[in-house]
Amino acid sequence: MPRRHKPPESTHPHRWMVSYADFMTLLFAFFVVMYAVSVVNNKKFERMSHALVGIFESPAAFPLPVKLEDILPPVIYEPEGKNHDDQDHLDIQELQNNLQALVQENIKELLTKPEFQLEKNNDWLQIEVQSDQIFKVGTSDFSETGEQTLVKLAKTFEQFDHDINIEVFSDVTVGDGLNNWQLSALQGANIAHVFTMEKIKPSRLALASYGPYHPIATNEDEDGKAINRRVIFMIDRTGNERNRTKIVTDRHLSAKPILEAVN
């Protein structure tokens, strides 16, 4: 018959007393706190209340050893919608208004014609010109007054440093032996060439060729096609310069790795 093994006796048979003592201590502390909260000296409480009210209602009657202004900054009321960046915003707004006024003054003769329009939004000042005022229809050749118009615009753009996007649109008619993508791209390149000849920094310019794919009128008649043929000069009102900086690596400094990858 197998022997029964007695379970080993604990080396600390009275450990429960430690936990019990901790519990009783916490319970005692709880009742002390509860008793302290329930006992309030009404006279002292009333005096403290009057003192606090007096400080806020008549500070002169209750002088403090330290001035509150030295500790807390003064509270300045600002109208709703105004913040600490308003001055910067006003400066930017003034620059943008000056830009618009400058452009309007310089091309005011052009703006009297219906083929020229000036609009603005939050970030851009937009000059829209019908392409027939710059190019011969269906070609990338300048019209009789087209180059003079571009020189007039370039003289205006030279007076500020904002970036300019040149967006060129065409109608559905294909001319000059090119498709519409090529035609509008070549027209934009010719405009940029005139601008750079007039001392506009090339880094300020960007070209976008939209072809016939963003019409604003019908392409079913000649009047609608003339409206769709347009050039838009988008002037960046924010004044932010384009940042195309990138980290140069050995791969950029040597063409050999690129040639090996191609081969």
CATH of the domain at 201: 3.30.1330.60
Residue 104 sits in the same domain as residue 154? yes
CA distance linking residue 106 with residue 156, whole number of Å: 6
Distance of CA 258 to the CA centre of its chain: 36
Residue 57 sits in the same domain as residue 97? no
The answer to whether residue 64 sits within a structural domain is yes
Does residue 52 surpass a pLDDT of 50?
Answer: yes
What share of the chain in percent tops pLDDT 70? 65
pLDDT of the residue at 254: 61
| Domain stop point among 7, 38, 69 | 69
pLDDT of the residue at 234: 94
CA distance linking residue 136 with residue 149, whole number of Å: 14
Residue 95 sits in the same domain as residue 211? yes
The answer to whether residue 170 sits within a structural domain is yes
Decide which of 59 and 27 is more confident.
27
Residue 114 sits in the same domain as residue 56? no
Q: What are phi and psi of 69, to 5 degrees?
A: -65, -30
Residue 172 sits in the same domain as residue 227? yes
Residue 136 sits in the same domain as residue 24? no
The answer to whether residue 22 sits within a structural domain is yes
Residue 114 sits in the same domain as residue 232? yes
Does residue 84 surpass a pLDDT of 50?
Answer: no
pLDDT of the residue at 208: 94
Q: Which domain covers residue 35, as residue numbers?
A: 16-69
Tens-digit pLDDT profile for residues 87-145 = 555 566 777 788 889 999 999 999 999 999 999 888 899 999 999 999 998 899 999 89
The answer to whether residue 34 sits within a structural domain is yes
Could you tell me where the DSSP H helices lie in the chain? 16-38, 42-57, 68-71, 86-106, 108-111, 146-157, 180-197, 222-228, 250-253, 256-262
CA distance linking residue 34 with residue 237, whole number of Å: 67
CA distance linking residue 97 with residue 88, whole number of Å: 14
Residue whose C-alpha is closest to residue 129's, from 142, 110, 145: 110
Residue 111 sits in the same domain as residue 169? yes
Tens-digit pLDDT profile for residues 6-19 = 666 656 666 777 77
Distant-in-sequence contacts of 148-156, Cβ < 8 A, 24+ apart = 149/110, 150/191, 150/194, 150/195, 151/194, 151/198, 152/106, 152/107, 152/110, 153/107, 153/127, 153/195, 153/233, 154/194, 154/195, 154/198, 154/199, 154/200, 155/106, 155/198, 156/102, 156/103, 156/106, 156/107
pLDDT of the residue at 210: 92
Task: Indicate the range of 40-54, 116-130, 244-258 predicted with least confidence.
Answer: 244-258
Helix (H) or strand (E) run with residue 122 in it: none
pLDDT of the residue at 127: 94
pLDDT band at 147 (very low <50, low <70, confident <90, very high): very high
Residue 55 sits in the same domain as residue 107? no
The answer to whether residue 227 sits within a structural domain is yes
CA distance linking residue 224 with residue 215, whole number of Å: 9
Phi-psi region of 211 (alpha: psi -120 to 50; beta: other; left: phi over 0): left
Residue 222 sits in the same domain as residue 191? yes
Residue 127 sits in the same domain as residue 155? yes
The answer to whether residue 137 sits within a structural domain is yes
How many domains would you assign to the chain?
2
pLDDT of the residue at 21: 81
Residue 230 sits in the same domain as residue 110? yes
Q: What are phi and psi of 28, to 5 degrees?
A: -65, -45
pLDDT of the residue at 36: 73
Tens-digit pLDDT profile for residues 197-219 = 999 999 999 999 998 888 899 88
Helix (H) or strand (E) run with residue 241 in it: none
pLDDT band at 233 (very low <50, low <70, confident <90, very high): very high
The total of other beta-carbon atoms located within 10 Å of residue 111's CB is 15
* Residue 62 near residue 51 (C-beta atoms within 8 A): yes
pLDDT of the residue at 22: 82
Mean of the per-residue pLDDT values for the chain? 79
